[in-house]
Structure 1
């Protein structure tokens, strides 16, 4: 994240009145301290005890969340949520309107009819917020996945909707059995990029499938929201078994649903 972007964010929240010059000097630092004081409860760590880079990233996350661009946790790590929130902010600043991201159904792909349509998920899974929160459960895998935005950390517990949990657990165990630890690591399939998240869909006013607990992401950077085949990494032949296994367990690859966003899998059809 560029320092000028952090200055732009702090200016948008009214904390910074200096030049947007990318030089993070005393004025920028003082503005960052104002952001930290106001959003202290949202910080997941003590910003005074970490690196300048992580501290500034957390400041940007706090500003993005305040401005309505969901960056996720204020943790100082740049993941897909933070990147896309910044993209949304910059698009609005540049164009004077919000970006609209098309998700048109791919022809030739027919998912099982027993999987709910996106327009019906509120009736099937519940309404985002307290109702969905009450229906979440945690699956515990017999192996660990690396955190995509902080590869020094790992997780083996994933929180999803109770009606999707059994299928996801079985899918990931089969993926592990097929590839093994080394190949999952080599291919980046073990890079977990998030599941349940109470937020709106990127480039839309509709609730994200993540807000229903029926979506999960892997290895975000080379499989981005706007990237189509063959550019998306998961379009390569080595990843076909991964997509096939997820699909066979009713977790549908977005790259097959709408031809982009290969990192994304959901138990919902279009």
Structure 2
């Protein structure tokens, strides 16, 4: 049975079967809008509640109509974030449906599929910029449809997407990272995610220096750790954090960004010895002022 027949059989109401056919797309849009799989699932559920109560007799494009409802729902969430505390954001969605909340593994899988750096940059955009960029650049929705959702002109929607695109790409030219730099950073992430201590030690120069600012642990003073084995042990202790960490351009140089639910918590910058490809220095930055001063872009 095709979508048209399903809608006809349901009269002027949207059938659950038709909605379920659109759920994967709606979830994908909502996740990129909100950066949290749990919040995305709640936005999709809210879309179903609104759509199922509406008269669909005049709806010509069910997919587009549902996408509009979902994105407006997400837009309301984004606009409300500035006036809500972080802890409320993390507990409000799905609190009455704990069994329906995505697992940490599902959140990690979703973040990896989209890209940690992209989620972080999207989180820096205004709600309208984020909507315009996500709908147009990621889902190829025309600007006239986006404009209707935002209640703006198509030209204004185009400008929003353009500003967001520049932020995603970054304005600082990418540093000429060697293949050794890329291999070292990628391998460092893989080793910390899997807890492979020996592989991590092999990546580090024997005299490697790790520095972490006071907000990382936190401590009154910056932390300095010396030596490959000591640095590797510290990295192993942060294996759980590594699950929400991914490659990013940090002031034009390849590094790592940790961002649970798409919200930046800390970054790691690396110095790699050109000849050996070993990591000679790692800096961990978590102080809000320092993070805000960084230009983070998609690698």
TM-score (norm 2): 0.29
Q: Which fold has the larger relative contact order, with Cα–Cα distance below 8 Å and residues 6 or more apart in sequence?
A: 2
* Greater share of residues in helix: 2
Structure with the greater alpha carbon radius of gyration: 2
